[in-house]
Amino acid sequence: MRGMMTAHSFYRPLSGLDLLGRTADDPRERGRVVLESLMRIEEVESEVRAMTAVARREAAMATATAARGPLAGMPIAVKDIFDTNEFVTSYGSPIYESQQPKSDAAIVTLLRRNGAVIMGKTVTSEFAYMSPTATRNPCGLGRTAGGSSSGSAAAVAAGIVPFAIGSQTGGSTIRPASFCGVAGYKPTFGILPTVGMKCFSWSFDTIGLFAAGVRDVAYLAQILSGRQLAVERVSTSPVFGVPDSYPWTEPSANAGAVLDIAARAIEDAGGRIRRVRFAPWMADLISAHDTIQSYEAYQALGFEYDHHRADLSPKLAAFLERAAHVDTATYAKACVSMEQAKDRLSELFDGITALLTPSAPDEALDGLGSTGDPAFNRNWTLLGCPCVNVPGLWGARGGPIGVQVICRPRDDARCLDAAAFVERAITGIVGLFPQHRE
């Protein structure tokens, strides 16, 4: 089920819940956990290249010692698309290379209020679009970590931090989580505040969370959202809908085989699999997402495009040039299609607990020239659905491939619970997770 890891693999995710248990027993451990995070950065950062800024040792240790709250002393990294008063925030662009915000983004304030220690900023694709980054996949340094939240996924996968903050406008949380073999959670649209996050598309921009496993990411989600999302007891007989086909692109044979393994594991664990078929309107959403994102990005990045076009990557500049031709009438029509699809979404979940699909078309691509294809994520982002990448399975080429659990909007607790069921079922088939194997 898993190929041999490359000799230069740095894959070593840490359970945040385990670390919280360790520090609860002895609060003095908080400083040690932070120190271990800093030491791990020194050990792997030159190869993985996940971070754009790192906290000063003295300040981080002092914050950990004084920390109070449900995340007390937990090292957390934040994608460099969010404003931070303590760190330079460049949004992955040379335009903002030395920008020092005067305030923190709302999500950073929530982290601090709950006792987290911000260990630094993580690499993002330029303005959270699709331009490749220098971040390398901890599961194999010759592979992409995905994008746009490449640094956040890689930082968790490499054991730099147990938790990280990312974002998703198309597939920027679920895809890198799949590529890097960690849990990724994209909540229902609007559950977590995006104030202080550099906007790309106000209809789609969503905060994403990364952790080693589903229970870890569910705990973080509960703390930050104030909702009952932590997984206490996993369901015993959920029903998962597995699509017969996909209107965007078919998964590779590799990803299809992994999905089949997950489906068999679910059935062996007492769950049920039901084949489902997407209605024709699901295909219409592909162009609707592109239209809405293009129209909004052309306005959101209007200053950068009008005054700093030469400093934009060719990929983003070309995208915005095309986006300039999307008129308001076309945008309004796409928004109507989106709202009509949301009204019909309940029929897609009729009789099932959650949908189960690949998280990406395949395992991570070789080379750093692409962040991968978000085809399996865009529609769910448009619909505002909660989605979870469940790690634990590996493809024929030796890299992780996640499976994606999807629920209707505002069913985040059910989504995380169903994802925990899948994770437990996978564990029962493959034994210990790969990071614990020699």
Catalytic residue set? 79, 148, 172
Burial of 308 (0-12, 13-18, 19+ CB in 10 A): middle
Name residues whose C-beta falls within 8 Å of residue 228's C-beta, 6 or more positions apart in sequence: 222, 413
Dihedral sign from CA coordinates of 332, 337, 340, 346: negative
The residue type found at 372 is G
306, exposed or middle or buried, with CB in 10 Å at 0-12, 13-18, 19+? exposed
**Do residues 412 and 187 lie in contact, with contact meaning Cβ atoms separated by under 8 Å?**
yes
